[in-house]
Amino acid sequence: MIGNIGQPTALSDRPYLVLNCQGQVLQLELKQQQHVLGRDRTRADLMLPEAWRAVSGVHAVLRQKGDNYWIYDGDGQKPSTNGLFVDRTRITSNDGYCLHCAYLPIQMFGK
């Protein structure tokens, strides 16, 4: 899965996250100060399809800090089952990674 965070467009003044899993592309608008990304309908507000089996029920948390969003593995305390990687670097639940308004390869599977 590859992802990036986009700049506001003519259609929306909010940032968004674009995820691609084997050609299936989702664009998720970031509207809140915190989002939970995953397949668990009871815990995630940024829902991913069940077919994206490599993604955990709660795979990542995105938190807004100033003008940027930070992404953290798992629920922000407990890591996801398969891990979260940005440009082949593992992202942890503690340190996270700042998503600037640019293309970022986010891998949400494999170890």
Q: Per-residue pLDDT tens for 39-59?
A: 999 999 999 888 888 888 899
Domain ranges of the chain: 2-107
The residues pairing with 29 across neighbouring beta strands, listed in sequence order, are: 16
CATH topology of domain 2-107: Tumour Suppressor Smad4 (2.60.200)
Using the CB atoms, write b or e for 55-70: b if 16+ within 10 Å. Answer: bbbbbbbbeeeeeebb
For residue 18, which amino acid is it? V
Q: Name the band, by pLDDT with cuts 50, 70 and 90, for residue 8.
A: very low
Closest CA to 33 of 7, 58, 65, 11: 65
pTM of the complete model: 0.77
Looking at every residue in the chain, the average pLDDT score rounds to 79
